[in-house]
Structure 1
Amino acid sequence: MTKPKYQEIADVLISELDQGRLNQGDRFYSEAELKSRFDVSSTTAVKVLNLLQTENRVTRIKGRGTFVAKESHRRVVYLTDLNMAKTEPEWTKVLSVAFGEDPVVRQNLRLADKEAYVVIKRLRMIGDQAVQYTVNNINAAYINTDQISHPEAFLSVYQRIRDDSRLDPYKLPYTQRNLAGTIDAALVTAYFPERPEQQTFIQQFRQTYLPFDAASHLEYAISYKLPEFWGLQTDSTYGFIEPEL
């Protein structure tokens, strides 16, 4: 099927952005410039700009014009989750392991009503202080559910999956969002009692996919981290990087 003209033009412009012809924050083509360059109508030019804005490629500011969006796209980036308290002993406490029944989680895992998933709740401790609370929701097809009655078998969730299914979650595609903000006061009271209810946490949401099974996902996890113990380092391969001396 032939693509609409505005989509063909958008593809050309996206390719140019990926090649670095314009930098983040640079002024982008105006409606008039698109009309002139591609010999199209105002309607088509507006559709191009609307599509690029929908895909977060450009930002349109009333009275000022259109600019290249400041988000990074199609760029090879390495993310490192930093432990900011390496001098203290670190260990994991498993709080509970059980089958889950939450329809929202089931939807995130793309499971049918009769398909099971396992909920593992854990605390990461540094010394005697809780610094992270994590809820891992795992597709039960990839875990030996006979182990559910043995919480100590889930000190490392990913090792459990490797042992039971020969699947390495670290080598699977995933999406992860990191947000900062307050959380449910009941969670703070239960797991971080020394902290005020309005404590800011790094909230991490992660979905791990199964590339060979588009019908379902492996994992949907939520973590709450105390910000002073964690950091995130971003390294990009885009462009030339001077070697460290």
Structure 2
Amino acid sequence: MKPKYLEIKDYLSNKIKKGILKAGDKIPSERELMELFNVSRMTVRQAIDRLVNEGLLVKMVGKGTFVTKEKLNTRLNILKSFTEEIIASGHKTSAKLLSKREIKADPELAKKLKIPEYSSVLKVDRLRLVDGLEMSVNTSYFPMIRAFMLEELDFSATSIYHQIEKELGLMIEKAVETISATAADRRISGLLRVKVGTPLLKITRLTIISNNIPIEYMEGLFRPDRYLVSQELYR
């Protein structure tokens, strides 16, 4: 006899496969599934956790559990802003400015941006959303010595690359990017609506303008259930 949690798992996965539950739809509540299958909350959660691990469902703290949307795919060999990537994939993007303040660059940051230690740097924290759902928390550092007008940019707008090129007249030529893993702390978990300790993608990017001059150093924490990185390799 099939265990109850597998019955619930199959019930939900079949609804997803048949299109009854579509990407972005909220699944029945734990209480509804408990009553439907006459089981305990633990059994329901066991079924849901299996589907989350398989990538079919995603839990959103304070909202419920939803059918996973298609992951947004970025290719490493093409330099695009986050906004350009999202628009190209057919989705809508938005940004929420969390904070903006001038700080002094410590030795490590100064080395990355190729500026004197303790020079003025504009630190900008933003929450990036796709189709209204939280995607990433991005922290950017801009050297004030390179462009004093940086502080006048609209950081609640979506594309900073566009503003750097159009408003400041600086031409972005390349970027150096690294990808690693990290875990959500209490602050980030609240912003991205995930549990504390949830694995995240950590993407750092050093954006460079003409004459090999850095204009931005960015650290982004991305939900891996919504963001995918791919690269073509040749031999």
What's the TM-score once normalised by structure 2's chain length?
0.55
RMSD: 3.1
Of 116-125 and 159-168, the range deviating more from structure 2 = 159-168
Give the Cα separation in 1 of the matches to 2:207 and 2:78. Answer: 16
Which whole-Å CA distance do the structure 1 matches of 2:118 and 2:197 have between them? Answer: 39
Q: Is structure 2 residue 133 aligned with structure 1 residue 136?
A: no
Residue type of the alignment partner of 2:149: N
Question: Partners in 1 of 2:228 and 2:155 — Cα distance?
Answer: 29
Query: Residue 211 and residue 182 in structure 1: after superposition, are their counterparts in 2 closer, same or farther (change >3 A)?
Result: same
- The one-letter amino acid of 1:128's match is G
Identity of aligned residues (%): 12
How far 1:130 moved relative to its partner? 1.4
- Give the superposition deviation at 1:163: 2.7
CA contact (8 A) 1:106 1:117 kept: no
1:179 equivalent in structure 2: 180
The residue that corresponds to 1:44 in the other structure is none
> Which structure has the larger Rg?
1
1:234 alignment partner in structure 2: 231
Give the match for residue 97 of structure 2: 94
> In the TM superposition, what is the alpha-carbon distance from 1:232 to its structure 2 partner?
1.4
Matching residue within 143, 147, 152 for 2:152: 147
Separation in 2, partners of 1:129, 1:200: 18
1:137/1:94 CA distance change after superposition, 3 Å: same
After superposition, what is the alpha-carbon deviation per residue over 1:18-56, rounded to whole angstroms, capped at 9, x for unaligned?
xxxxxxxxxxxxxxxxxxxxxxxxxxxxxxxxxxxxxxx
- From the superposition, tell whether residues 185 and 146 of structure 1 become closer, same or farther in structure 2 (CA, over 3 Å): closer
User: Shift in Å at residue 234 of structure 1?
Assistant: 1.0
1:223 partnered with 2:220: yes
- What residue ranges of structure 2 are gaps of 5+ in the alignment? 1-75
In structure 2, C-alpha distance between the alignment counterparts of 1:199 and 1:182, rounded to whole Å: 5
Deviations 1:187-223 (A, max 9, x none): 223x12x31101111100111234525xx52221100
**How big is the shift at 1:176?**
0.7
Contact 2:142 2:150 in 1 (8 A): no
* Alpha-carbon distance between aligned partners in 1 of 2:166 and 2:210, rounded to the nearest angstrom: 20
Q: Which amino acid aligns with 1:137?
A: Y
Residues 141, 218 of structure 2: 8 Å contact kept: yes
Deviation for aligned residue 1:99: 1.4
Question: Are 1:120 and 2:124 matched, yes or no?
Answer: yes
What are structure 1's unaligned runs of at least 5 residues?
Answer: 1-76, 240-245
Change (3 A) 1:158 1:80: closer
